[in-house]
Structure 1
Amino acid sequence: MSHTFYVMASYIAAFAVTVGLVLWVWLDHRSRHRELEQLEAAGIRRRSARTEDAG
């Protein structure tokens, strides 16, 4: 029996984990962006945002 099955299985597993992590980060980014928009719409601003007073 050759090792082709094990090599292909490990490549598929690595690909699935990579795709899963990329998808997770992308979905989390969308969620955080939506949360920031809601906070800014409620009048809450980031401390790093420049104000008119600060110049």
Structure 2
Amino acid sequence: MTHAQYVFVSYTLTAIVLGGIGLWLWLDRRARLAELKRLEESGVRRRSQDRAGHRA
């Protein structure tokens, strides 16, 4: 394996890993936002909010 091949493979694998992490974070964010929406619709509120919905 030449130096150029090594560098190309290393950068490609790094891009794939970082892309996978980015995708995982994006999907997890969507899931957490959906979960928060579902909880708020069911009446669960944050502890830092008073009854009027204002943050303390």
Structure 2-normalised TM-score? 0.83
Unaligned ranges ≥5, structure 2: none
Runs of 4+ in 1 over 4 A off after TM superposition: none
- Size of the aligned set, in residue pairs, is 54
State yes or no: 1:2 paired with 2:2. Answer: yes
CA distance in 1, matches of 2:48, 2:5: 53
Unaligned ranges ≥5, structure 1: none
What is the letter of the counterpart of residue 5 of structure 2?
Answer: F
Structure 1-normalised TM-score? 0.84
Q: Sequence identity, in percent?
A: 44
